[in-house]
Amino acid sequence: MAQPFCTGYCLLDHTPLKIYNQLTVCLQAGIRTGRKGENDMIVEWSEAALTEIANRYGQEARIWKLASDSEGCGCAMNGVAALWSIDAPEAGDLQAQSNGVEVWYEKRHEVFFDERMRVSYDPSKRAFKLASDGQIYSNQLRLEDRRNKEE
């Protein structure tokens, strides 16, 4: 691992920031977003988004996993945001606060996301959007059905 070096100060608590393999880390908070506790992620769904996932995936698609999917990206740091419909969370997954459906994520992926995000749906583009107050993760958020289907 490359030696860390000081890159500035955290805007939240003014502690020094260091960089490890391209991830900026707040030394006190431990997470680049300044999250201090566990399971502090909040994912708010618009009514249009909830209606559309029910239309596309059925009413039983109630458990979703937020991921930074790096498959095919060449580098784990170049992942794209994705939501996967799953049967059940895996051991160790963390649950985000969410309205309408359950949202789970892996602890290792939380550094890629802000604490509070929104999922909306644009019917004119037939596309989902994942955004926070600080950025837009995707205007065409990839949703994927990863549930086991009985034949």
Which CATH number belongs to the domain containing residue 137 in this structure? 2.60.300.12
Q: Is the pLDDT of residue 132 over 80?
A: yes
Q: Name the residue with higher pLDDT: 97 or 108.
A: 97
6-13 LR contacts (CB < 8 Å, sep 24+): 10/34
Q: What sign results for the dihedral spanned by CA atoms 33, 22, 81, 104?
A: negative
Q: Identify whether residues 91 and 17 lie together within a single domain.
A: no
Examine the domain organization and report whether 114 and 132 are in the same domain: yes
* Eight-class DSSP state of 47: H
Does the residue 107 lie in any domain?
yes
**4 is a domain residue:** yes
| pTM of the predicted structure, to 2 decimals | 0.70
pLDDT, one tens digit per residue, over 32-79 is 444 445 568 999 999 999 999 999 999 999 999 999 876 654 444 557
38-72: b (≥16 Cβ within 10 Å) or e: eebbbbbbbeebeebbeeebeeebebbbbbbbbee
pLDDT number for residue 39 = 60
Does one domain contain both 131 and 110?
Answer: yes
| Domain extent for 32 | 1-37
Does some domain include residue 150?
A: no
